[in-house]
A and B are shown apart, each in its own frame.
Chain A
């Protein structure tokens, strides 16, 4: 039982890492990606192939996964962001990219096609994942509160006005995209060494959708919101496992309900912070009924 719970926590946190990366991109520059599963897959396969076929050290393989998926982020970002594709066209481009990567994985020899890679060394443990999650959250928080974060928010709010403020649109978007691709790659590497078996079918558009849905449901412009949503979207289907197929229906309803009742996402653009928790507790006796402040 303990193992089962710790397994769910590990899975949740792996998704949190990927979701936070995507939150920095989609939540702060306003561009939707429907192909982030591809970065996840690239990280998983790069790290997995390195340890499986070449006996590379786990940490080096993980780093290579991050590096390769960031690099692919640059490659896909260069043409699409340079052309200043509008939000919906960008989403379609990433959708195509996601599918292309999956088909590639199914047909390459090194990835063993649809058979996948069985028996990857099981290296990822809960403490490792916790450390990485904290690290990613910390970096994301610093990014958002830096000059680049403010520039990204300006781009999301009105990119023409942002350009007139002297912001290099392309650079801001590229930076966020590469960060999010790197996070997805890291999550992928951890994932591969946790489940120790990967196949292309794990990285379909459904995974991309889940990541993007977590960001939107958690709140565009928030880091902690998508974090909570990512945990929720892994934990809820698990908790409802006894309901078998109905759990996916519940999952769908959850998404619809969030969009209907909280279109700005669970957290809007708010964050959970120590100050807001403290304020929440202080206000309650005064019958003011706190709530998470900014």
Chain B
């Protein structure tokens, strides 16, 4: 579905991604784990078209990825950004409708709104509330729902667990599984390595801009290097 080969991304002099190659198969949850500054967000932003790669190739469904962010969404890739980036002064409902900005099928959008309320029951009570007044967990749900409103084929989730209480992290991850069950492929960037790996079909470990390890989620959980460096388990 998505093929990345020898991707290099730079911020001026800083080389954030070095020769990153990875592939995402349809219908799977793919996790990218790594510490702060490993390049997870850079990778996600590049895939969403917000950053231009210095070199390397990204192909999506056999075609090169469009260069502009607004065209990337049209192809069915949607990024749920780090720190959520909601429209704080718009209501929850308006936020969700913004997610469907490119769609013209009114009935479909309405149906999808209903779907979101089933997926996130709490949102139904919050519809008229300004998004900025919600709690962190609720905001994350709005962010994910807003992303889903564009009916993406590939959903990029950048640190959905950031700043959430462990219980909420659980519930967000449960939703991610549900989204996958409904047929959306997911690329997930996480610091929360253990839970991400547990859930992931495939996974990559990113370290200072390089892909360190590749494997299935369960492989990587068992990997001694990962256990030591990211899960904090010795021996």
Chain A interfacial positions (CB closer than 8 Å to B): 147, 150-151, 153-154, 157-158, 160-169, 269
Given A150-B98, A150-B101, A166-B150: A157 in contact with B50 (beta carbons within 8 A): no
Cβ-defined contact, A160 with B87, below 8 A: no
Return the contact of B86 from the options A151, A153, A161, A166 (Cβ within 8 A). A161
Nearest A residue (CB) for B103: A166
Cβ-defined contact, B87 with A168, below 8 A: no
Cβ-defined contact, A164 with B88, below 8 A: no
B86 surroundings in chain A (CB, below 8 A): 158, 161
A22 to B74, CA, bound (A): 31
B33 shortest CB reach to chain A, Å: 23
Interface bracket on B: 20 to 34
A150 to B87, CA, bound (A): 12
Chain B at the A interface: mostly helix, strand, loop or mixed?
loop
A165 to B69, CA, bound (A): 9
B81 surroundings in chain A (CB, below 8 A): 160-161, 164
Give residues 97-112 of B contacting A (CB, 8 Å).
Answer: 97-99, 101-102
B115 surroundings in chain A (CB, below 8 A): none
Query: B4: CB under 8 A from chain A?
Result: no
Cβ-defined contact, B50 with A163, below 8 A: yes
A163 to B78, CA, bound (A): 11
Query: B188: CB under 8 A from chain A?
Result: no
Cβ-defined contact, A164 with B79, below 8 A: yes
Chain A at the B interface: mostly helix, strand, loop or mixed?
helix
Given A150-B98, A151-B101: A165 in contact with B88 (beta carbons within 8 A): no
Return the contact of B69 from the options A158, A164, A269 (Cβ within 8 A). A164
Cβ-defined contact, B50 with A166, below 8 A: no
Cβ-defined contact, B101 with A164, below 8 A: no
A-B contact pairs, 9 of them (CB 8 A): A157-B88, A162-B98, A163-B50, A163-B70, A164-B73, A164-B81, A166-B102, A166-B150, A169-B70
A169 surroundings in chain B (CB, below 8 A): 70
A32 shortest CB reach to chain B, Å: 18
Give the 7 A-B CB pairs with smallest separation, nearest first. Answer: A166-B73, A157-B87, A161-B85, A166-B102, A163-B69, A166-B70, A168-B70
Cβ-defined contact, B68 with A168, below 8 A: yes
Cβ-defined contact, B48 with A157, below 8 A: no
Give residues 76-100 of B contacting A (CB, 8 Å).
Answer: 78-79, 81, 85-90, 97-99
Cβ-defined contact, A158 with B87, below 8 A: yes
A151 to B99, CA, bound (A): 11
Q: Please, what's the 1-or-0 string for B12-55, where 1 marks a CB less than 8 Å from any CB in chain A?
A: 00000000000000000000000000000000000010100000
**A150, A161, A162: residue with the most chain B Cβ atoms closer than 10 Å:** A161
A293 to B189, CA, bound (A): 42
A157 surroundings in chain B (CB, below 8 A): 87-90
A165 to B87, CA, bound (A): 11
A269 to B98, CA, bound (A): 18
Cβ-defined contact, A161 with B69, below 8 A: no
B75 shortest CB reach to chain A, Å: 10
Return the contact of B101 from the options A154, A158, A160 (Cβ within 8 A). A154
A30 shortest CB reach to chain B, Å: 11
* Further pairs besides A165-B98, A165-B150, A168-B70: 17, Cβ < 8 Å: A150-B97, A153-B87, A153-B90, A154-B98, A154-B101, A157-B88, A158-B86, A160-B85, A161-B85, A164-B50, A164-B78, A164-B79, A164-B81, A165-B101, A166-B74, A166-B101, A166-B102
Given A151-B101, A154-B98: A167 in contact with B70 (beta carbons within 8 A): yes
Nearest A residue (CB) for B85: A161
**B48, B68, B70, B78: residue with the most chain A Cβ atoms closer than 10 Å:** B70
A219 shortest CB reach to chain B, Å: 13
Cβ-defined contact, B150 with A161, below 8 A: no
A59 to B99, CA, bound (A): 43
Q: Please, what's the 1-or-0 string for B143-154, where 1 marks a CB less than 8 Å from any CB in chain A?
A: 000100010000
Nearest A residue (CB) for B146: A165
Cβ-defined contact, A158 with B98, below 8 A: no
B219 shortest CB reach to chain A, Å: 32
B70 surroundings in chain A (CB, below 8 A): 163, 166-169
A165 surroundings in chain B (CB, below 8 A): 73, 98-99, 101-102, 146, 150
Nearest A residue (CB) for B84: A161
Nearest B residue (CB) for A164: B79
A160 to B44, CA, bound (A): 13
A224 shortest CB reach to chain B, Å: 18
Nearest B residue (CB) for A169: B70
A147 surroundings in chain B (CB, below 8 A): 101
B48 surroundings in chain A (CB, below 8 A): 164
A162 to B146, CA, bound (A): 11
